[in-house]
Amino acid sequence: MGNINLKNFNYKELKNWVIEKGWKPFRADQIAKWIYTKKVNSYDEMTDVSKDIRKYLKENTEFSSLELVSYEKSNIDGSIKFLWKLKDGNTIESVFIPENGHNTLCISTQVGCAVGCKFCFTTKDGLIRNLTTAEIVDQYLQVQRFVGLEPKKRISNIVYMGMGEPLANYENVKKSVQIFTDKKLAGLSNRKITISSSGILHQIRKMYEDKEFPQVRLAVSLNAPDQKIREEIMPISQTNKLEDLMKLLNSLPVKPGYRIMLEYVLLKGINDRPSDAHKLARLIGKNKKRFKVNLIPFNPYPDSIYERPDEKDVLKFQKILWQYDIGAFIRWSKGQDISAACGQLRKKEINSFVKIHS
């Protein structure tokens, strides 16, 4: 089995690769249809592709980059957390989130994370490596096959909010977005894809200046109303200052209707006080129509030094932002009962799980 995976290719690369093999260009469209539209599980199912080509693909490329180790389904909201084993034995997680009228998939971009946010479980292992484009794309394809291909099960929204800092794996994330949004490949709407970043200034700027990076929605983990608190809970803020971050976000050429989401994890007694809400409103300032605030009550994990705020304090925080005419929404995270909520994903040891096909 070779180590080429066709899901590492965007459409142009796939077509060039097919032509290099001496095959007719239309074979690229056939292969793409079977992988991305029909979401087949093997080359054998590609019935209108010649046997010779299928034989070559089986012998020289790998079809899948992930192996499903286990899954857990929430009894509360139907979210499903998947644990995947990669070819090198590392593991990652993804979460399928059924919502009213649509389904969202939260995908990972790295094994571990180097950013070091103190309230996040994922970062406890540090960064092990970046995921390949195929490993990112395969999370979508395999989860869609798992939940079913009927229209009501269709994944329409993808959020790059799983393990890792997406913009620290820039090229592979960019190519995966190209694949997700290309009508000849996965064909998802740009508006339904969100990339979440901890606020790496040069990478955010690069993404908006890069003509080959399809414009999708941006979410930034703000999590504090001032530099002092942000530096305390997000060490990355020492080199990516809050003031500079807000200046950049206010200057980005965002398409009409593409509001930037400011993610704000509420930590009891740290950043959830009324004074913090007023500070946050002043930080957002006059350009409030450019932003919306996503308030996320902290999701506890083992040995965490932080606590979840009281519901009344979360509601009070939201109400203060409303008084400033700032769009503020509370994300009561789904999948908490299976540790699939925001900030709870972490690399797992394989031997602590029972393989689902054993």
Flag whether pLDDT at 347 surpasses 50: no
pTM score: 0.91
Helix ranges, 158-241 (H): 170-181, 201-209, 227-233
CA distance 105 to 160: 9
Q: Is 117 helix (H, G, I), strand (E, B) or coil?
A: coil
> Given this model, what pLDDT does residue 355 score?
38
- Mutual angle of helices 242-251 and 201-209, in 10-degree steps: 10
Sequence-distant (6+) residues with CB within 8 A of 85 are: 66, 67, 68, 69, 91, 350
**Could you count the other beta carbons within 10 Å of the beta carbon of residue 351?**
6
Q: Is 73 helix (H, G, I), strand (E, B) or coil?
A: strand
Question: Between residues 356 and 280, which one has the greater pLDDT?
Answer: 280
Active site residues: 93, 342
> Given this model, what pLDDT does residue 114 score?
83
**Could you count the other beta carbons within 10 Å of the beta carbon of residue 143?**
24
Same fold flag, 6-60 and 67-352: no
> Given this model, what pLDDT does residue 87 score?
95
CA distance 116 to 124: 8
Token pair listed for 350: 């394989």
The band of 12, judged by pLDDT with boundaries at 50, 70 and 90, is very high
Instruction: Write down the domain spans for the chain.
Output: 6-60, 67-352
> Given this model, what pLDDT does residue 346 score?
46
Q: Which amino acid is at 124?
A: K
Mean residue pLDDT across the chain: 91
> How confident is the model over 238-262, as a mean pLDDT?
94
CA distance 196 to 79: 20
CATH 1.10.3720.10 for the 6-60 domain, yes or no:
no
**pLDDT tens for each residue of 19-78:** 999 999 999 999 999 999 999 999 999 999 999 999 999 999 999 999 999 999 988 889
Write down the CATH number for the domain with range 67-352: 3.20.20.70
> How confident is the model over 207-221, as a mean pLDDT?
96
Q: How far is CA 297 from the centre of its chain?
A: 19
**pLDDT tens for each residue of 102-156:** 999 999 999 988 888 878 876 667 899 999 999 999 999 999 999 999 999 999 9
Describe the chain by its helix, strand, coil percentages, rounded to 5. 40, 20, 40
Q: What is the 3-state secondary structure (H, E, C) of 229-279?
A: HHHHHCHHHHCCCHHHHHHHHHHCCCCCCCCEEEEEEECCCCCCCHHHHHH
* Torsion sign, CA atoms 86, 198, 159, 6: negative
